[in-house]
Structure 1
Amino acid sequence: MNITRNNVDALNAIVTIELAKEDYQGNVDKVLSNYKKNANIPGFRKGAVPMSLIQKQYGKAVMFEEINKVLQDKLNNYLVEEKLDILGNPLPVANENFDWEADVLKFDFELGLAPEFTVELDTKNKVTKFQVVADDAMLDEQVEFVQKQYGKLIAKDSVEETSEMVGTFSNEEEGINYETKIPVSAFRTKTNQKKFINKKVGDQITVNTKGLFEDEHKLMDYLGVDHDKVHGLEADVIFTIKEINETEKAELNQELFDKLFGKDVVTSVEQLKEKIKEDAEKQFEGQADQKFLNDVYEHLLSTTKFDLPADFLKKWLETAGETKMTAEEAASEYEKSEKGLRYQLIEGKVMSQFDLQLNFEEIKAYTENLIKQQLAQFGQAEPDDKTVEDIVARVMSNQDEVKRISEQVMNDKMLALFKEKANVKTKEVSYKDFVKEMYGE
């Protein structure tokens, strides 16, 4: 057997494997011998079928199968030994005039090679790292939300300015059929608010989505509209009232503070706001970190230039899935997936270039911390070690969970690297402005 490689260019290569009969014939003879022992053919006793008949009936199929096994094994070993970083899978080169009777069989395989490139993190253009703060307006809203959440719900016969309604927004043409809870005050204009006043359960009110809320993104919350549809959506929707309620707000007293945070942890409205601010900004930090991570990758996608073996990948896509694609379908699929492939290659390069690795102890420690946080949410602030160990063992026995946690640990390593190495500028914003940065105006 002989294996050679011809590099067509930096991104494409042809690997040629030459097989002599001795490379596969022994396996073929062994399989045919087993067939002979177990064959049940009319007119012959079991095990007494002539080998010539076995050869005639099964010989070619067995030869093809055994040659394929040898080819796959030798090709995979060659790729590992040569440390070839390929994209997709090797593609056999078709040969209509292939001579299966030749003493030496020669097979060609196309390879798409991963491009060589480096990633520069300390670039001229700065990437913004947002620091989201809970401003006074938001804190006042959250205090009111807490009061309503722990307040007393009173059913009403008709809608008033301070009412909260439960109902369904619907528009068949736009695919909207979404049950929601919405206060009358959520509507941006008095004109739309007045449409609901004095209405009763079962009544239907038609409003237009254009300018319905102060922020178009509220269409996602109240109508279940996808983000890519919210901007400029102009459609009539029907709201069918199912419930009308009024909330009698809870008093801001020690009883409420204790219910929220435990006895005497918070003793004033000022401390309540401080606690809300602390918790909110901690939550915002995670969202801001994720946006920062995404923005760095978008920046790297635009500044890290490399070519891909596009023609090879399109050809590979034609046969890669369960259903074969046409050349046109494969080209369209490649166009849609090219950005994701570049993202994966850049991510892999960052990991290798900056030696970001995972080990079992890191994954286990992250899992333990995660379990303790979850138990704390259910009132077990200091769980015993045995309880935590048992839960961690169950989680770590689930491959899907280990994969998910591993990705999160690596995500955190990437984030720390980018914060350290990338050219970052920090900008302090309110949560409202941060949402605009996330989704646009």
Structure 2
Amino acid sequence: MNIIKENVDDLNALLKVTVEKSDYQVKVDKALSDYRKKATTPGFRKGMVPMGIIKKQHGRTVLGDELNRLVSEGLYKYVAEQEFEILGNPLPKNDIEVQGDFDKPDTFVFTYEIGISPKVDVKITGKNNYEYTKVKVDKKLIDKQLEDLTRRYGKLISGKEIGEKDMVLGQFVELNEEGEILEGGIMNSSTISMEFIEDEQLKKEMIGKKAGDKVTVNPFSVSRGGKDTASMLGIEESELGNISEKFQLTINEVKIMEPAELNQELFDKLFGEGEVTSEKQMIEKVKADLVQMFEKDSEKILTRRISNDLIEKADIQLPEGFLKRWIIASQKEPTTMEQVDADFGNYARSLKWQLIQNSIFKNNDMKVDQEEAMNYTKSLLVNQYAQYGMPTPEDAELTKSAQQVLSNQKEAQQIYDMLAEEKLTKFFKETVKLDEKEVDYDEYVKIAQDSNA
């Protein structure tokens, strides 16, 4: 078998695969002989069917299978041995017919197209300068965190009237377009939280209402939609399309969250027994936890800034036509070119960033090995056990669980990607010049949500 590369341009090439009869004949003859031994054709004893009949029945299929195997293995080996790298996998060139006769098999020539990976060489040094955004952990933010913590560990008590953050227990009754109770309509008692109502006008109308008062509401405005709305009304999610947008809500009870007191009992619940013994220590601990919590987000913002900058400056060209055809060919479900075009910009950007990452790892002798992946997976499992309040198992059992996770190709890829991202972020922080800038929480959230920041 012989493979010849014909360049189309810098990013595209054709591979012409020539398969001689001597490459496949022995395997084809053996396969047909095996068919003959098992064949049960009327008029012939088992294993005695003439080879001519066997070839007529199975010859083309056996030949096709063997040619496909030979060509696939040959292409894989050829690409692995080359200095250039390809994107995706070789694709049969649809507008060039296979040379060869399956009825009189001899020499076959197959033509494949490949997309060649562009050469990317990215160097990061201390001369690279990037803003490192940090959140200003001020009194306002600490007070907000303290309020959230005391509410989380507080208790519900009955209230006289509805406030901005209260829970409302009431009965929902479906109304018709005239605002009258719909005969045979939905009737269900449920709970809503004032905090999650985004309709400000409705929220304003409900504040101050007491038990026994009635208010007309759109059920979608007092819930989070989908399953939450269906659960609130006591129906199946599939029924939501048929319900009225007017419901009478009769308020049965108002529940107020009474915050927990800042005392030793709360300190122990939050930080462990005796770790914090005063309100001042709690505030210091909360501040330190906030700083640590936002550090991960700041690192993600930094990495995003750097990736945006590098992608723009690298000006990487891709074999777009080939990649689109390869995406369509590799999908399990039928996919149109229009569908591929719609999301190709995101795909191309992701691919460019991957090429840049590979260059950074190569230029700085960085890698993710199996031992690191194993230890990282074990640390993730330990955190998962802690999250559910479960004791960490012995190392042998933990290692076995990590091996099971890494045996799943999809999960293993996620682990390696996460670990690679951590290494990359660490490299950036240690290498580039950081211009630290503190902003208040609201501005920080806007920056974090802005993909171009």
TM-score range, shorter chain: 0.7 to 0.9
Paired position in structure 1 for 2:178: none
Match of 1:284 among 279, 291, 294: 294
Paired position in structure 1 for 2:362: 352
Paired position in structure 2 for 1:393: 400
Paired position in structure 2 for 1:81: 81
8 Å contact 1:89–1:316 — kept in the other structure? yes
C-alpha offsets along residues 242-293 of structure 1, whole Å, 9 cap, x if unaligned? Answer: 8621133333223332333334322221111111111121111112212222
Q: Say which is worse superposed, 366-375 or 145-154, in terms of deviation.
A: 366-375
State the Cα distance separating 1:428 from its structure 2 match. 1.7
8 Å contact 1:166–1:182 — kept in the other structure? no
State the Cα distance separating 1:342 from its structure 2 match. 1.8
8 Å contact 1:301–1:342 — kept in the other structure? yes
Match of 2:113 among 90, 103, 110: 110
Aligned residues with identical type, % of pairs: 32
State the Cα distance separating 1:82 from its structure 2 match. 1.6
C-alpha offsets along residues 120-164 of structure 1, whole Å, 9 cap, x if unaligned? Answer: 434977432222242101212222333323333113364246744
**Counterpart of 1:110 in structure 2: which amino acid?**
E
Paired position in structure 2 for 1:198: 209
Between the aligned partners of 1:180 and 1:127, the Cα distance in structure 2 is: 45
C-alpha offsets along residues 315-339 of structure 1, whole Å, 9 cap, x if unaligned? Answer: 3234222344444444445345222
State the Cα distance separating 1:187 from its structure 2 match. 7.8
State the Cα distance separating 1:167 from its structure 2 match. 8.6
Consecutive unaligned residues of structure 1, counting only runs of 5 or more, are 170-177, 210-218, 226-235
Count of matched residue positions in the alignment of Structure 1 and Structure 2: 408
Q: Does 1:154 align with 2:157?
A: yes
Paired position in structure 1 for 2:182: none
Between the aligned partners of 1:54 and 1:370, the Cα distance in structure 2 is: 58
C-alpha offsets along residues 16-42 of structure 1, whole Å, 9 cap, x if unaligned? Answer: 111211111111111111111111100
Between the aligned partners of 2:388 and 2:264, the Cα distance in structure 1 is: 22
Paired position in structure 2 for 1:275: 285
8 Å contact 1:157–1:201 — kept in the other structure? no
State the Cα distance separating 1:104 from its structure 2 match. 2.5
What TM-score do you get using the length of structure 1 for normalisation?
Answer: 0.80
1:6-85 correspondence to structure 2 within 5 Å: 6-85=6-85
State the Cα distance separating 1:309 from its structure 2 match. 0.8
8 Å contact 2:135–2:294 — kept in the other structure? yes
8 Å contact 1:128–1:424 — kept in the other structure? yes
State the Cα distance separating 1:200 from its structure 2 match. 4.1
C-alpha offsets along residues 167-225 of structure 1, whole Å, 9 cap, x if unaligned? Answer: 999xxxxxxxx9863349x9897995354211447844559x9xxxxxxxxx9x98579
Between the aligned partners of 2:335 and 2:205, the Cα distance in structure 1 is: 56
Match of 2:131 among 124, 128, 132: 128
Between the aligned partners of 1:201 and 1:90, the Cα distance in structure 2 is: 71
8 Å contact 1:5–1:13 — kept in the other structure? yes
Paired position in structure 2 for 1:98: 99
Between the aligned partners of 1:121 and 1:104, the Cα distance in structure 2 is: 51
Q: Say which is worse superposed, 1-10 or 33-42, in terms of deviation.
A: 1-10
Paired position in structure 1 for 2:179: none
**Residues 1:430 and 1:166: Cα distance change in structure 2 (over 3 Å):** farther
Between the aligned partners of 1:349 and 1:192, the Cα distance in structure 2 is: 54
SS of the residue aligned with 1:349? Answer: helix
1:234-313 correspondence to structure 2 within 5 Å: 244-313=254-323
What TM-score do you get using the length of structure 2 for normalisation?
Answer: 0.78
State the Cα distance separating 1:380 from its structure 2 match. 7.8
Q: Say which is worse superposed, 41-50 or 368-377, in terms of deviation.
A: 368-377
Between the aligned partners of 1:61 and 1:154, the Cα distance in structure 2 is: 77
8 Å contact 1:371–1:388 — kept in the other structure? no
Match of 2:376 among 366, 377, 397: 366
SS of the residue aligned with 1:77? Answer: helix
SS of the residue aligned with 2:349? Answer: helix
**Residues 1:237 and 1:287: Cα distance change in structure 2 (over 3 Å):** farther
Q: Does 1:182 align with 2:194?
A: yes
8 Å contact 2:19–2:108 — kept in the other structure? yes
Calculate the aligned-residue CA RMSD, in Å.
3.7
8 Å contact 1:36–1:48 — kept in the other structure? yes
8 Å contact 2:40–2:46 — kept in the other structure? yes
**Counterpart of 1:129 in structure 2: which amino acid?**
Y
SS of the residue aligned with 2:194? Answer: strand
**Residues 1:417 and 1:182: Cα distance change in structure 2 (over 3 Å):** same
Paired position in structure 1 for 2:181: none
State the Cα distance separating 1:308 from its structure 2 match. 0.8
Between the aligned partners of 1:378 and 1:247, the Cα distance in structure 2 is: 25
Between the aligned partners of 2:42 and 2:213, the Cα distance in structure 1 is: 78
State the Cα distance separating 1:45 from its structure 2 match. 0.3
Between the aligned partners of 2:31 and 2:422, the Cα distance in structure 1 is: 52
Between the aligned partners of 2:146 and 2:307, the Cα distance in structure 1 is: 37
Between the aligned partners of 1:31 and 1:265, the Cα distance in structure 2 is: 74
State the Cα distance separating 1:71 from its structure 2 match. 0.9
State the Cα distance separating 1:44 from its structure 2 match. 0.4
Paired position in structure 1 for 2:441: 431
State the Cα distance separating 1:366 from its structure 2 match. 2.8
